[in-house]
């Protein structure tokens, strides 16, 4: 170090030292990385089983509630038309709502009866305008849950179509664009393989169902209050017990 470059006074040396420390601390602060936050655990998975193809599918969104492209690709294939094998784009919102339904019922297994239907199949089933052929509908049930309970919860969802089939073992859910202004609900009394038999007054039928259930509950409550025969023991007529004179203890013999 030359005499010209060297600090000439103690004061200059201190200034140089302070400047060096300030620069070093600034760099350390600038390059310090904040501690990494632990990743949140993945949401629970909804397990789906297709009754016609015997395939299973796991529906699990990411931490932000979104489904990956790979997940949606598998979703499309899982819900393909089981009559023709044709794969069609399936609504992402339908996947989100089915996941929401399963979350409500504590992630019990969902049994899928039908997803996408090819237009020819929709015509053969008597509904050429079926939302199934648009990839926006699914017929399913939840194991261990009554279809009436599944039906009632689906009807609380916004902008959906809900179909109740009391003589078949599933409930219909769709997100057809025609539901944007109001929900749709219908009851179809047809059985498996039969053509549709729609109720003319589905809301009235629900009221009648509710009234019948309340009547059955009331009758059961009255029977419990009044007492009744043990349902496990048949009531049959028996022999009349003989009169026993007063003061006489009957002899009971082992049968």
7 part of a folded domain: no
User: Structural domain of residue 201, as residue ranges?
Assistant: 46-205
Within-domain flag for 35: no
Whether residue 226 lies inside any domain: the answer is no
Q: Is 131 part of any domain?
A: yes
Dihedral Cα 194, 186, 96, 48, nearest 10 deg:
-30
Q: What share of the chain is helix, strand, coil (3-state, %, to 5)?
A: 35, 15, 50
Number of H helices, E strands in the chain: 6, 7
Does the structure show a pLDDT above 80 at 182?
yes
Number of structural domains found in the chain: 1
Residues 141-163, mean pLDDT to the nearest whole number: 97
Question: How many other CB atoms are found less than 10 A from the CB of residue 31?
Answer: 7
Taking only the tens place, the pLDDT of each residue in 33-53 is 677 888 778 889 999 999 999
Q: Is residue 247 over pLDDT 90?
A: no
Residue 27 lies in a domain: no
Of 23-32, 156-165, 184-193, minimum mean pLDDT range? 23-32
> What pLDDT score was predicted for residue 195?
80
Predicted local confidence at residue 21, as pLDDT: 63
Write down the pLDDT at residue 213: 85
Choice between 234 and 121, residue whose per-residue pLDDT is larger: 121
The answer to whether position 14 is within a domain reads no
The tokens of 66 are what?
């979104």
- Here the CATH number for the domain that contains residue 138 is 3.30.1380
Residue 184 located in a structural domain: yes
85 forms beta bridges with none
Predicted TM-score (pTM) of this structure: 0.71
93 pLDDT exceeds 80?
A: yes
pLDDT of residue 186: 96
Is the pLDDT at 83 greater than 50? The verdict is yes
Whether residue 225 has pLDDT greater than 80:
no
In a domain, 214, yes or no: no
Among residues 131, 178, 173, 130, the alpha carbon closest in space to that of 151 is found at: 173
Phi/psi of residue 235, nearest 5 degrees: -90, 115
CB 62 within 8 A of CB 87: no
């Amino acid at each position: 170090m030359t005499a010209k470059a060297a600090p000439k006074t103690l004061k200059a040396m201190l200034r140089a030292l302070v400047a060096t420390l300030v620069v070093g601390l600034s760099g350390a602060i600038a390059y310090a990385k904040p501690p990494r936050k632990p990743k949140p655990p993945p949401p629970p998975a909804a397990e789906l089983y297709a009754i016609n193809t015997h395939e299973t599918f796991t529906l699990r969104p990411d931490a932000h509630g979104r489904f990956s492209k790979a997940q949606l690709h598998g979703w499309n294939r899982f819900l393909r038309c089981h009559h023709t094998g044709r794969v069609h784009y399936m609504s992402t919102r339908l996947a989100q709502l089915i996941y929401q339904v399963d979350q409500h019922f504590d992630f019990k297994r969902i049994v899928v009866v039908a997803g996408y239907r090819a237009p020819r199949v929709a015509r053969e089933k008597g509904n050429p305008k079926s939302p199934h052929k648009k990839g926006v509908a699914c017929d399913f049930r939840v194991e261990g849950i009554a279809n009436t309970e599944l039906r009632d919860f689906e009807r609380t969802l916004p902008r959906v179509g809900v179909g109740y089939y009391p003589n078949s073992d599933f409930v219909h859910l769709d997100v057809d664009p025609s539901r944007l202004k109001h929900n749709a609900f219908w009851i179809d009394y047809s059985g498996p393989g039969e053509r549709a038999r729609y109720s003319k007054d589905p809301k009235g039928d629900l009221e009648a169902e509710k009234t019948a259930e309340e009547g059955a509950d009331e009758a059961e409550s009255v029977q419990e209050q009044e007492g009744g025969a043990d349902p496990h023991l048949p009531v049959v007529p028996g022999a009349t017990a003989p009169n026993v004179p007063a003061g006489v203890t009957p002899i009971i013999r082992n049968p």
